[in-house]
Amino acid sequence: MEDLLDTSALIQLRVDGELHELDVLAGRTLLDVLRDDIGKKGTHLGCKTGHCGACTVMIDGKVAKSCITMAATLARATITTIEGLLDEKGGLHPIQQSFWDEAGLQCGYCAPGIVLSALELVTENHHPSSEDIELALAGSLCRCTGYQSIKRSVAEACVRMYPADENIN
């Protein structure tokens, strides 16, 4: 049984397209590994209890809170951080463009949860209702905006990415 136990685990993460093989100590969060080992500072620490969403990344295409994900448990995973949304030419993702156009954020600290949750939403539901947006962003706190500009930005992103069908009233 002893050969099962180790103080660390070897994991393989493809982060924003780049493959990383890491030996991570047990107990460390994915957030710390991303920020400190890989140098991806765009994902933020807000509470360490999984309530605020500032640490959000996508794991295999689904949003997750990296501060309550133990890195060692991700034997092999594809991670998308907020830094991984630009296109090949370095242009903004339509969601990022919409947030820019609509002045969606202020201090920007909450961006990872807000933007990536919006991405998962619009991927699954091209024409979300106001309530759908609220549910998709329920895991994210923002202290600056009162959410008005955020909702506007997400709605605009959906329209930008999936213009309404002409036949739908």
Partner 1 sequence: MSLHPMYARPRDLEQATQLLASLSSGAVIIAGGQEIMPFINYGVMMPDVYVDIGGISALRGVNVESDEVSIGALTVHRDVQSTAEILERLPLLAYAAQQIGGGWQVHNRGTIGGNIVAMHPLYDIAPALLALDTDVELLSDKGLQRLSLSQLQNDSSHGLGSSSILTRVLVDTMLPNALWGYYKLKNTAGAYGSANAAVVIQMDGEKIASIRIVIGAVSEKLVIISEALDGCLGCAYTLEVGQAIEKACVEAIDEPLSDQQGDGVWRKAMAGVAARRATEMALSNLTNSSIKR
Partner 2 sequence: MTQGKEELEGYVGKSIRAKEARAPLIGKAKYTNDYTFSGQLYAHILRSPHAAAKINSVDVSGAKKVAGVHLAICGQDVFEHTNGITDHLNPAIFGGKSTRLPCMAVDEAWCFGQPVAIVVAEDERTARYAASRIQVDYTPLDPIIDVEKAVAKGARSVVPGWEDNTLIYVPFMNGDTQKAFDTASQVITTDIKIHRFSSQPMETRCYNAMWEHDTQSITLYGTCQNPHPLRLVIAETLRMDENKIRIIASTIGGAFGLKMHGHPEEPLICLMAKLLGRPVKWVESREECLLIGAREQQHKVQMAFDSDGVMVGLRDHVLANIGAPSACPGWGMVFLTGLTMPGPYKVENIDIHMNAVTTNKPSWNAARGYGKESTAIALELAMDNAARQLGISPIDLRLKNFIAKDAFPYNSPTGLVYDSGDYSGVLLKALETIGYQDWKDRQAAARSEGRYLGIGMAFELTPEGGTIPGTMVAGYDSSTVRVGPDGTVRVLTGITSPGTHNATAMAQIAADELGVDIAKIEVLQGDTNSSPYGFGNYSGRSTIVGGGSVALAAQDVRAKINAVAAALLEVEPDTLNLVKGVFSSSAKKDATLTFAEVCYASYTRAYDVALCIDPPLEATRTFKPPGISHLPDKNGRINPYPSYSNAVYVVVCEVDADTGKIDLLSLAAAHDCGKVINPILVEGQVCGAFAMGLGGALTEDIQYDANGIQLTKSFKDYVMLRMADIPPIGVAHHDSPNPDNYLGLKGAGEAGVGGSAAALVNAVNDALEPLGVLMHEMPLTPSRVWAAIQDANNGEGVN
Q: CB–CB of 115/95 below 8 Å?
A: yes
User: One symbol per residue from 54 to 93: x for binding partner 2 (CB under 8 A), - otherwise; what is it?
Assistant: x--------------------------xxx-xx-----x-
For partner 2, the closer of residues 139 and 165 by Cβ is: 139
**Minimum separation from the CB atom of position 116 to partner 2 (A):** 10
Q: How far is CA 115 from CA 28, 56, 71, 111, 168, in A?
A: 25, 9, 22, 6, 27
Residue 92: burial class (beta carbons within 10 Å; 0-12, 13-18, 19+) = middle
Using rule CB under 8 A, residue 62 touches partner 1: yes
Residues recorded for the chain: 169
- The residue within the footprint of partner 1, chosen from 54, 64, 115, 133 (CB under 8 A), is 64
User: One symbol per residue from 136 to 165: x for binding partner 1 (CB under 8 A), - otherwise; what is it?
Assistant: xxxxxx------------------------
Binding-residue total with partner 2 (CB under 8 A): 55
Nearest in space to 52 (alpha carbons), one of 139, 134, 120, 126: 139
Q: Can you tell me which residue has the tokens 């990296």?
A: 66
Instruction: Tell me how far apart the alpha carbons of residues 28 and 48 are, in angstroms, rounded to a whole number.
Output: 12
Residues making contact with partner 1 (CB under 8 A): 1, 4-9, 25-27, 29, 48-51, 53, 56, 59, 62-65, 67-70, 72-73, 75, 113, 117, 120, 124, 134-141
